[in-house]
Structure 1
Amino acid sequence: MLQSKEIQEQMIHKVIKIHRSGKGYKAISKALGLQQTTVRAIIHKWRKHGTVVNLPRSGRLTKITPRMQQRLIQEVTKDPTTTSKELQASLASIKVSVHDSIIRKRLGKNGLHGRVPRQKPLLSKKNMKAHQKTS
């Protein structure tokens, strides 16, 4: 589904001004080049709320701002083995308390999956010694 374009405030105020002068939806829509349903919605909102500014929408606000998100992405790209707990601690240093699952979700949306270090090292102690002797 397409998102609707927001109409400029000047245009909305023109709609209200013309409506107050006694014109109908059809006359306003022809005069300003808007659809009748748009004009009706603007007037309805103005009557109901007494204002035409965008009202706050429902839903929980995000704790991680876009700036913090960029910081997380930079830290992860610098050191890919960084854990989500370490990232959580770095956010706590700037007084932002976020659960580590939120950090993982946010990184996942940006294509940075699996911020968990390897459980098993690449080489065992025995193989590391053998590798050092050959080099």
Structure 2
Amino acid sequence: MQTASTNICERLFNKSICEISLLLNIPRSTVSGIIRKWKQMGTTATQPPSGRPHKMTVLGQHMLQHTLCRSRQLSAESIAKDLQTSCGLQISTTTVRRELHGMGFHGRAGVSKLYIDRCNAKRWMQLV
């Protein structure tokens, strides 16, 4: 049984690549790539993505961000244990660090700030 896409492809094969690209208003390289893919694989469907799927789900990322915002002093190991108990995610500390880095959180020391009391605030306002 032939599908509609098969019929369309068979009809378009009678035309040149330039005619097809002008007819569909797409580049010639795209048309030739689609035709090549059709001849080799018999379909133009894309292949499934390569590689292993992510360990962290969207819910896990939200929980990770919530845990970090609650207390920024936690270590990656304690965050991994907390996620294991709350969400049931079995992730390593390296994965936690990688996800935090992807979210924009980095393990850096905070900037040292001067203690500002009333006297220092008055002096500062007089300088400015």
Pick the TM interval, shorter chain. Answer: 0.5 to 0.7
Q: CA RMSD in A?
A: 2.4
Match of 1:65 in 2: 57
Q: Does 1:44 align with 2:36?
A: yes
**CA, structure 1 residues 27+60, in 2 after alignment: closer, same or farther (shift >3 Å)?**
same
**CA, structure 1 residues 53+115, in 2 after alignment: closer, same or farther (shift >3 Å)?**
farther
Match of 1:98 in 2: 91
Q: In the TM superposition, what whole-angstrom CA distance separates every residue of 1:74-95 from its partner, at most 9, and x where no partner exists? A: 2101111122122212332333
1:76 to 68, 74, 89: 68
Calculate percent identity across the aligned residue pairs: 27
Structure 2 residue ranges without an equivalent (≥5): 110-128
Taking structure 1 as the reference length, the TM-score comes to 0.64
C-alpha contact 1:88 1:99 (8 A) present in aligned 2: yes
| Alignment coverage as a number of residue pairs | 103
Q: Does 1:26 align with 2:18?
A: yes
- The amino acid that maps onto 2:81 is A
Q: In the TM superposition, what whole-angstrom CA distance separates every residue of 1:17-69 from its partner, at most 9, and x where no partner exists? A: 54311222111100000011101111222222233222123223211123321
State the structure with bigger RCO (CA 8 A, min sep 6), 1 or 2: 1
Q: Does 1:114 align with 2:104?
A: no
Q: CA separation in 2, counterparts of 1:69 and 1:115?
A: 21
Q: CA separation in 1, counterparts of 2:60 and 2:73?
A: 19
Which contiguous aligned blocks of 4+ residues in structure 1 show a shift greater than 4 angstroms?
A: none
Structure 1 residue ranges without an equivalent (≥5): 1-12, 117-135
C-alpha contact 1:80 1:115 (8 A) present in aligned 2: no
